[in-house]
Amino acid sequence: MDIVIMAMIASLIALAVAVFLVVQVLKEMPGTTTMQEIAASIQQGAMAYLNRQFKTIAVFAIVIFFILGMFLPKGEFHNSYLIAIGFLVGAVFSALAGYIGMGMSVRANVRTANAAKKSLKDALNIAFKGGAVTGLCVVALALLGVSGFYYLFTRVWNIPIDMAPSLLIGFAFGASLISLFARVGGGIFTKAADVGADLVGKIEKGIPEDDPRNPAVIADNVGDNVGDCAGMGADLFETYAVTLIAAMILAASTLVTQTGAKSIEYPIMLGAIAAIASIIGIFFVRLGKNENIMGAMYKGMMMTGLISAVGFYFATKYILNDMSIYYATLVGLGVTLFINIITEYYTAKEYRPVQKIAEASKTGAGTNIITGLAVGLQSTFMPVVLIVIAIGLAYYFGSTSTLQSGIYGIAIAAVAMLSTTGIVIATDSYGPITDNAGGIAEMAGLPESVRKNTDALDAVGNTTKAVTKGYAIGSAALAALVLFQAYGEELMKNTVGKSFEFSIDNHMVLIGLFLGGMLPFLFSSFCMEAVGKAAHKVVEEVRRQFKEIPGIMEGKNKPQYDTCVDIVTKAALKEMIFPGAIAVIAPIFVGFVLGPEALGGLLAGVIISGLLSAIQMCNGGGAWDNAKKYIEDGNFGGKGGDAHKAAVVGDTVGDPYKDTAGPALNALIKVINTIALIIAPIIAGTSLLS
């Protein structure tokens, strides 16, 4: 049977399972009227934000659609418009996955809260199924998009197989653009609401987290969904699609004479297998008798990994008949495993790094911050070593295979790593559902026992969120490497008699490296400032409400939740434009003005400094967060003590680090690489300065 059709069927199966899970979750009871009211507020806020976010992006998207259609080389198959259409579909599919996932998330939250009245097991069941809907939709739509377009190109329109993958880049770019804005906008939204709610609520008024008297409480809960569910979903949708496409482009330009379509379609097959493996893995997530929630998650992930490994074996044997390439897929699966372990070590309460920060809090906020920064910086070591080993091994397996392509080995490792995206997002999207469930339980005044159950679920959610960030960054780095290679190939293809050397001792490459290295610094500084500005607006609004609406503190009058949601929405959308624009304009400027060599340097610079900064920020932020929680568990004076106050400062600093700037860097890295790939044919021959 045709591999590409198999992949499309696998996508449709994943979508069907997602629908099945939606039905299962929706038939659960949504609880009391109060609970439903609160949930409805969160729903409205989240959907309102998403609608406006996509409306804003749509303006960009339409402009870009016409630019792509008009200015890209036309080619014999109307390439430019195929790419432009792919771009639109990529954007729409990514947005669709976001809509479905968020829609589920803001309905699963209240049902999880209600089930938590009954048992931990029931609550976990609903929350995880809710998360799995996002996971499956992301993978299914991404795989369907790639395989569907490829099918159309090659089977229906008879475009030669060595040309078809390049045309898929439009789809990748559409996904990139959504991911960039969803990450930046979502990241600003979630942290501005969080920090704003805390600054007045916790610090000025002394009311607890998720207290219904806080006017920003709904905005805060909306933010969890917008950032962790929609943002991460769009991020991994893009990484998944882009990696697949880059691997196919690479195969198309270097291996097609040796292998025909096989090496191009093999990555699609890996995606199809892992999609099915993810579905099976999802049904393995069940609470055992020991009530170990994280254990239940790991069961599902390990199962997915094992089934994938077995499936990859047969697929490799059947398609390429080369075990060296199979080992490259194992390298990819191995990176997923180890990056999880490393991230957990740096961000979980049980280990030395977090405890070190907690201990440093004894001598005040200053030492807490210094230690947290040091932990974040240090946490780059092991992931980099892991990635370097993975590159080395994958290259080795690729070059000792019959294909004799080290780079293809790296590309396949990246595809294999990303193939498990479905289950990874499921565990990640579970996070905001349980977070919300806790919030709803608190706001609706449910008994302590319910809150205890949701807290237990939420604690694991924090870990899975941190771990997913590590996964997203690691995979983004590998994906970017493949994109970089593809960029080089595209340049070669489009010039006659000119060869491109990205040698570091070429001064244009060096200039690109410096500029590229700097971009993540500049970009993340704007993201962090944006959170500050937006949070400031929330603070002012919350203060205004406390002053102007009498009786909020006594619970006699309800605060106006919607104005806060509205303010954060507007602020986030406004603030996302500038960093977003930097990401889009930088590669175009460098490519056209400084030339293809400088753009190559820029890509490498962005990958390296972006990867390091993202790891530092995500791990540092996660460690700060859990250092605070470690103290709240009763260590170093417990909640309310001096160490706790210092740790709260660290947590505040960590918030925009780990939930805004850090994750947005993934999107930055890839959007720049994707744009480079798109403009490669145009700049291949020419530039203003070189």
Site for a second copy in 152-211 (CB under 8 A): 195, 199, 203
Buried b (16+ CB within 10 A) or exposed e, 337-373: ebbbebbbbbbbbeeebbbbbbbbbbeebebbbebbb
> By CB under 8 A, is residue 561 in contact with a second copy?
no
| Binders of a second copy in range 282-341 (CB under 8 A) | none
Q: Are 687 and 594 in contact (CB under 8 A)?
A: yes
> By CB under 8 A, is residue 511 in contact with a second copy?
yes
Among 324, 371, 421, 545, binds a second copy (CB under 8 A): 371
> By CB under 8 A, is residue 504 in contact with a second copy?
yes
CB nearer to a second copy: pick between 479 and 608: 608
> By CB under 8 A, is residue 364 in contact with a second copy?
yes
Q: Rounded to an integer, what distance in angstroms lies between the CA atom of residue 106 and that of residue 222?
A: 8
Query: One-letter amino acid identity for 193?
Result: A
Which listed range, 113-121, 126-134, 376-384, 554-562, lies at the site for a second copy (CB under 8 A)?
376-384
- DSSP, collapsed to helix, strand or coil, labels residue 368 as helix
Q: Encoding tokens for residue 169? A: 């880049």
Instruction: For the CB of residue 360, give the shortest distance to a second copy in the complex, in Å.
Output: 7
Residues 6+ apart with CB under 8 A from 359: 636
Instruction: For the CB of residue 501, give the shortest distance to a second copy in the complex, in Å.
Output: 6
> By CB under 8 A, is residue 391 in contact with a second copy?
yes
Which listed range, 78-86, 120-128, 511-519, 670-678, lies at the site for a second copy (CB under 8 A)?
511-519
CB nearer to a second copy: pick between 146 and 648: 648
CB nearer to a second copy: pick between 113 and 531: 531
| Binders of a second copy in range 589-628 (CB under 8 A) | 600-601, 604-605, 608-609, 611-612, 616
| Binders of a second copy in range 408-437 (CB under 8 A) | 410
- DSSP, collapsed to helix, strand or coil, labels residue 358 as helix
Instruction: Map residues 474-503 to x or -, x wherever contact with a second copy holds by CB under 8 A.
Output: -------x--xx--x------------xxx
Beta strands per DSSP E along 523-584: none
Query: CB-based burial of residue 33 (10 Å sphere; 0-12 exposed, 13-18 middle, 19+ buried)?
Result: exposed
Q: Comparing C-alpha atoms, which of 212, 179, 2 is closest to residue 94?
A: 179
Q: Encoding tokens for residue 653? A: 């600093």
Q: Are 604 and 503 in contact (CB under 8 A)?
A: no
Which listed range, 237-245, 286-294, 525-533, 673-681, lies at the site for a second copy (CB under 8 A)?
525-533
Which listed range, 77-85, 105-113, 290-298, 387-395, lies at the site for a second copy (CB under 8 A)?
387-395
Q: Rounded to an integer, what distance in angstroms lies between the CA atom of residue 484 and that of residue 676?
A: 9
CB nearer to a second copy: pick between 98 and 656: 656
Q: Comparing C-alpha atoms, which of 586, 523, 277 is closest to residue 420?
A: 277
Among 295, 366, 634, 640, binds a second copy (CB under 8 A): 366
Instruction: For the CB of residue 506, give the shortest distance to a second copy in the complex, in Å.
Output: 9
- Residue 320 is classified by DSSP as T
Q: Are 201 and 545 in contact (CB under 8 A)?
A: no
Among 48, 518, 577, 682, binds a second copy (CB under 8 A): 518
Instruction: For the CB of residue 316, give the shortest distance to a second copy in the complex, in Å.
Output: 21
> By CB under 8 A, is residue 241 in contact with a second copy?
no
Instruction: For the CB of residue 649, give the shortest distance to a second copy in the complex, in Å.
Output: 5
Query: One-letter amino acid identity for 258?
Result: Q
Instruction: For the CB of residue 594, give the shortest distance to a second copy in the complex, in Å.
Output: 9
> By CB under 8 A, is residue 401 in contact with a second copy?
no
What is the CB neighbour count within 10 angstroms for residue 555? 10
Instruction: For the CB of residue 503, give the shortest distance to a second copy in the complex, in Å.
Output: 5
Which listed range, 45-53, 83-91, 324-332, 360-368, lies at the site for a second copy (CB under 8 A)?
360-368
> By CB under 8 A, is residue 522 in contact with a second copy?
yes
Of the chain, the end-to-end C-alpha distance in Å amounts to 50
Among 20, 66, 283, 381, binds a second copy (CB under 8 A): 381
Q: Got the DSSP string for 578-622?
A: HHHHHHHHHHHHIIIII-HHHHHHHHHHHHHHHHHHHHHHHHHHH
Query: CB-based burial of residue 688 (10 Å sphere; 0-12 exposed, 13-18 middle, 19+ buried)?
Result: exposed
Query: Rounded to 5 degrees, what are φ and ψ at 32?
Result: -70, 170
> By CB under 8 A, is residue 521 in contact with a second copy?
yes
Buried b (16+ CB within 10 A) or exposed e, 588-619: bebbbebbbbbbbbbbbbbbbbbbbbbbbbbb
Which listed range, 136-144, 286-294, 357-365, 419-427, lies at the site for a second copy (CB under 8 A)?
357-365
Among 62, 70, 585, 689, binds a second copy (CB under 8 A): 689
Instruction: For the CB of residue 292, give the shortest distance to a second copy in the complex, in Å.
Output: 33
Instruction: Map residues 87-116 to x or -, x wherever contact with a second copy holds by CB under 8 A.
Output: ------------------------------
Residues 6+ apart with CB under 8 A from 561: 41, 45, 215, 217, 218, 219
Q: Rounded to an integer, what distance in angstroms lies between the CA atom of residue 378 and that of residue 629?
A: 21
Among 517, 591, 596, 621, binds a second copy (CB under 8 A): 517
Q: Rounded to an integer, what distance in angstroms lies between the CA atom of residue 288 and that of residue 301?
A: 15
CB nearer to a second copy: pick between 78 and 536: 536
Among 152, 280, 510, 682, binds a second copy (CB under 8 A): 510
| Binders of a second copy in range 647-676 (CB under 8 A) | 648-649, 652-653, 656-657
> By CB under 8 A, is residue 9 in contact with a second copy?
no
> By CB under 8 A, is residue 473 in contact with a second copy?
no
> By CB under 8 A, is residue 43 in contact with a second copy?
no
Among 137, 167, 528, 542, binds a second copy (CB under 8 A): 528
CB nearer to a second copy: pick between 20 and 521: 521
Q: Are 568 and 48 in contact (CB under 8 A)?
A: no
Q: Comparing C-alpha atoms, which of 375, 366, 403 is closest to residue 263?
A: 403
